[in-house]
């Protein structure tokens, strides 16, 4: 019985890890596209997870909300931080604070 609980816990952790990697790749692509449209340079080709929590989507379902930060530059001389929030596998918000774009 304990073996089954451990097995299910490990499967849950593996699923969460795999899902998080997939959502992170989506967030990177969205941030890169957004920066290109706003004529700023997406730096480092990466996003960093800031927080993970549960949140309800528009249908009322409980899904994982992940907040990421990424860096971009408008002039090449400075590094600015943008944020992206993913709700499940979908984009909820993206923000470049210096420009007030979202």
Half-sphere CA count of 26, side-chain side, radius 13 A? 18
- Kindly tell me if the per-residue pLDDT of 89 is higher than 50: yes
Cβ contact 47:32 at 8 Å: no
Domain membership of residue 13 (yes or no) is yes
Number of domains making up the chain:
1
Place of tokens 């959502």: 23
Domain membership of residue 9 (yes or no) is yes
- Structural domain for 54, as ranges: 2-95
Q: What is the mean pLDDT of residues 67-81?
A: 89
What proportion of the chain, given as a percentage, has pLDDT over 70? Answer: 95
Domain membership of residue 100 (yes or no) is no
What proportion of the chain, given as a percentage, has pLDDT over 90? Answer: 73
Amino acid 99: pLDDT: 53
Helix (H, G, I), strand (E, B) or coil at 98: coil
Domain membership of residue 60 (yes or no) is yes
């Amino acid at each position: 019985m304990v073996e089954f609980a451990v097995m299910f816990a490990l499967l849950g952790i593996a699923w969460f890890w795999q899902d998080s990697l997939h959502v992170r790749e989506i967030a990177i692509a969205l941030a890169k596209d957004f920066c290109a449209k706003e004529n700023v340079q997406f730096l480092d080709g990466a996003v960093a997870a800031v927080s993970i929590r549960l949140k309800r989507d528009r249908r009322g379902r409980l899904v994982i909300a992940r907040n990421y930060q990424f860096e971009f530059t408008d002039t090449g001389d400075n590094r600015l931080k943008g944020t992206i929030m993913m709700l499940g596998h979908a984009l909820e918000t993206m923000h470049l604070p210096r420009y007030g774009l979202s």
